Amino acid sequence: MGFDLSVLDEEKICPKCRERMSCCEAPPIHVGDGLGWGSEILFICLNDACPTFLNGWDQIERKYGHHASYRYMELPGSKEGNFMMVGNSDAFKACVINRDTLKEQNERFAREKEAVEGLKTCLEEKNIDPVMTLLLDEAANVNARKTAITYLIQLNDTACIDPLRNHKFRDTAFEHEINVAIKAILKANFKKECPYCMEIIKAQAKKCLHCKEDL
Residue 64: CA count within 13 A, CB half-sphere: 10
Closest to Zn ion by CB, 134 vs 194, is 194
Determine which residue in the list 12, 16, 145, 192 makes contact with Zn ion, applying CB under 5 A. 16
Closest to Zn ion by CB, 47 vs 133, is 47
CB of 180 to Zn ion, least distance (A): 22
Burial readout 21-40 (b: 16 or more C-beta within 10 A, e: otherwise): bbbbebeeeeeeeeeebeeb
In this chain, which stretch among 98-106, 107-115, 122-130, 194-202 interacts with Zn ion, using CB under 5 A? Answer: 194-202
Is residue 161 a contact point for Zn ion (CB under 5 A)? Answer: no
Extended strands (E) in 2-160: 22-25, 41-44, 69-74, 82-86
Is residue 14 a contact point for Zn ion (CB under 5 A)? Answer: yes
Binding positions for Zn ion, 50-69, rule CB under 5 A? 50
Is residue 205 a contact point for Zn ion (CB under 5 A)? Answer: no
Alpha carbon distance 98, 68 (integer Å): 27
In this chain, which stretch among 9-17, 32-40, 97-105, 167-175 interacts with Zn ion, using CB under 5 A? Answer: 9-17
Binding positions for Zn ion, 29-48, rule CB under 5 A? 45, 47
Judged by DSSP in three states, 2 sits in coil
| Chain centre to alpha carbon of residue 123 | 28
Closest to Zn ion by CB, 22 vs 133, is 22
Q: How far is CA 132 from CA 40, 54, 121, in A?
A: 35, 54, 14
Residues forming the site for Zn ion (CB under 5 A):
14, 16-17, 45, 47, 50, 194, 196-197, 208, 210-211
